């Protein structure tokens, strides 16, 4: 038997109904904040990600789904969406049209990580990107939107961690100092941590190993100590606005995000309800990325959030299946086409959900199915009534039933 690939999921209607609902809320939320949806292709030139996410990140090093296409071009399934949004922005020269572009996206991303609860190989992200504003107000808008999205979905145990990585290239100096401060503990680290320390010291900050975290916590320098006064001012302005907006946050001076393109403000939203994979969403400024990918010098900021982790935090595991308003029960199969015709009329005129059975089941089992689908009404097509152009309608919740002329069915349901 052919099975789905490890780290991917089939979502059945009881799961997709929840997701559709979440997406509907997200669409409205984004639109009322002035953000429009962007949809970019799920595969791109590999170079786009190696140049933006960073050659030495885990994502580019070992997690991308990459293949050589028939014309010898290297292509990759997107591991994240910011790079694609920036590529599209540059390609369409959108700064010429508006001084600020505000986008949101929802869709699948792909990373070959070790699958576990809340961590998949095909996962789904939603996120926002604002390109054009260098100002702290923009940072505060993005962070408060992230916070308000989770509040909208009823997630309470939320922590926002925020930090600044500075605008000039302080990464190199910080990386060197970090390495120097930790190299003396080399014998306490495992092989992969030693490797990280040698090749990309920043990655050691992401270690999930409690002992390593303790060593790092006690000995690593704070990246925040490396930033300039101007960047410090920017950071303070962002936190002042967050205070005014009553958005709670903690300043984590060690927070450095895994992707290379971040500058200045970075942040993460964590939920204590999630266990191991506790990051709900992460983002920050990427003021150099548009230029690095061949565009103008345009500052930008955004975040990406995991849909699966939102759903876990919402505790939406057990959901009802698809429901209907009206279930048309056929006594004889010859009437099924007539029932289908009536169903179409009801859907079109009243915008209600109507279900017609195609299994030629017994009345009893159609009735059972109608109950299972939470039908509010069943409409029974039986020979005797149909001879007089009538149908029998049963209100499934109240003990009420009527026999009416088929021609009156629209006005009947309109008054119900």
Interface positions with ligand AMP (CB under 6 A): 80, 111, 113, 118-120, 123, 125, 258, 279-282, 304-306, 308-309
Structure tokens at 395: 């209100």
Residue 319's closest CA among 18, 23, 117, 21? 18
Nearer to ligand AMP, 126 or 413 (CB): 126
Provide the minimum distance between the beta carbon of 268 and ligand AMP in the complex, in angstroms, as a whole number.
7
Backbone angles phi, psi at 22, to 5 degrees: -60, -45
Structure tokens at 407: 């021609």
Neighbouring CB atoms inside 10 A of 224's CB total 20
d(CA 133, CA 102): 10
d(CA 157, CA 165): 26
Nearer to ligand AMP, 95 or 123 (CB): 123
Nearer to ligand AMP, 192 or 240 (CB): 192
- Whether residue 265 contacts residue 238, with contact meaning beta carbons closer than 8 Å, is answered with yes
Provide the minimum distance between the beta carbon of 387 and ligand AMP in the complex, in angstroms, as a whole number.
59
Provide the minimum distance between the beta carbon of 252 and ligand AMP in the complex, in angstroms, as a whole number.
15
Residue for token pair 């990309």: 200
Element (H, E) at 78: none
Nearer to ligand AMP, 131 or 304 (CB): 304
Nearer to ligand AMP, 111 or 376 (CB): 111
d(CA 252, CA 120): 27
Residue nearest to ligand AMP (CB): 306
Provide the minimum distance between the beta carbon of 383 and ligand AMP in the complex, in angstroms, as a whole number.
55
CB-facing half-sphere around the CA of 263: CA atoms within 13 A: 20
Provide the minimum distance between the beta carbon of 305 and ligand AMP in the complex, in angstroms, as a whole number.
6
SS3 of residue 388 by DSSP = coil
SS3 of residue 159 by DSSP = strand
- Distances 175 to 51, 92, 357 between C-alpha atoms, Å: 19, 36, 65
Provide the minimum distance between the beta carbon of 213 and ligand AMP in the complex, in angstroms, as a whole number.
18
In the chain, what is the straight-line distance between the N-terminal and C-terminal CA atoms, in Å?
A: 50
Nearer to ligand AMP, 150 or 377 (CB): 150
Nearer to ligand AMP, 52 or 330 (CB): 52
Nearer to ligand AMP, 40 or 330 (CB): 40
Structure tokens at 236: 């303070």
Element (H, E) at 70: none
Provide the minimum distance between the beta carbon of 111 and ligand AMP in the complex, in angstroms, as a whole number.
5
Nearer to ligand AMP, 150 or 355 (CB): 150
DSSP 3-state helix, strand, coil percentages of the chain (rounded to 5)? 45, 20, 35
Provide the minimum distance between the beta carbon of 309 and ligand AMP in the complex, in angstroms, as a whole number.
4
Provide the minimum distance between the beta carbon of 247 and ligand AMP in the complex, in angstroms, as a whole number.
18
């Amino acid at each position: 038997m052919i099975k789905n690939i490890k780290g991917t999921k089939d979502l059945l209607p009881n799961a997709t109904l929840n997701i559709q609902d979440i997406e509907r809320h997200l669409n409205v939320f984004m639109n009322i904040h002035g953000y429009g949806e962007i949809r970019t292709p799920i595969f791109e030139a590999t170079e786009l990600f190696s140049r933006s996410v960073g050659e030495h990140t885990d994502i580019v090093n070992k997690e991308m789904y990459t293949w050589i296409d028939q014309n010898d071009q290297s292509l990759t399934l997107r591991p994240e969406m910011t790079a694609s949004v920036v590529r599209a922005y540059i390609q369409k020269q959108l700064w010429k049209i508006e001084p600020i572009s505000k986008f949101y996206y929802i869709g699948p991303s792909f990373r070959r990580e070790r699958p576990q609860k809340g961590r998949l190989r095909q996962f789904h992200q939603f996120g926002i990107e604002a390109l054009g504003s260098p100002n702290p107000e923009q940072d505060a808008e993005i962070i408060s939107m992230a916070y308000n999205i989770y509040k909208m979905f009823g997630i309470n145990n939320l922590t926002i961690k925020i930090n600044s990585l500075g605008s000039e290239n302080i990464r190199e100096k910080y990386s060197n100092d970090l390495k120097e401060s930790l190299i003396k503990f080399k014998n306490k680290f495992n092989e992969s941590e030693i490797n990280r320390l040698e090749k990309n010291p920043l990655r050691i900050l992401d270690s999930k190993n409690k002992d390593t975290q303790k060593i790092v916590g006690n000995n690593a320098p704070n990246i925040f100590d490396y930033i300039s006064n101007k960047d410090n001012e920017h950071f303070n302005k962002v936190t002042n606005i967050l205070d005014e907006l009553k958005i709670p946050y903690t300043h984590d001076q060690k927070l450095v995000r895994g992707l290379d393109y971040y500058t200045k403000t970075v942040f993460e939203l964590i939920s204590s309800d999630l266990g191991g994979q506790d990051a709900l969403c992460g983002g920050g400024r990427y003021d150099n990325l548009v230029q690095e990918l061949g565009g103008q010098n345009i500052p930008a900021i955004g975040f990406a959030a995991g849909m699966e982790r939102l759903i876990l935090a919402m505790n939406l595991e057990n959901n009802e299946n698809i429901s209907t308003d009206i279930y048309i029960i056929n006594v004889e199969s010859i009437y099924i086409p007539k029932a289908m015709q009536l169903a179409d009329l009801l859907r079109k005129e009243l915008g209600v959900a109507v279900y017609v059975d195609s299994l030629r089941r017994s009345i009893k089992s159609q009735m059972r199915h109608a109950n299972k689908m939470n039908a509010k009404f069943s409409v029974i097509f039986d020979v005797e009534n149909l001879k007089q152009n009538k149908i029998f309608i049963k209100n499934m919740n109240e003990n009420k039933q009527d026999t009416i002329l088929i021609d009156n069915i629209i006005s009947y349901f309109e008054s119900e």
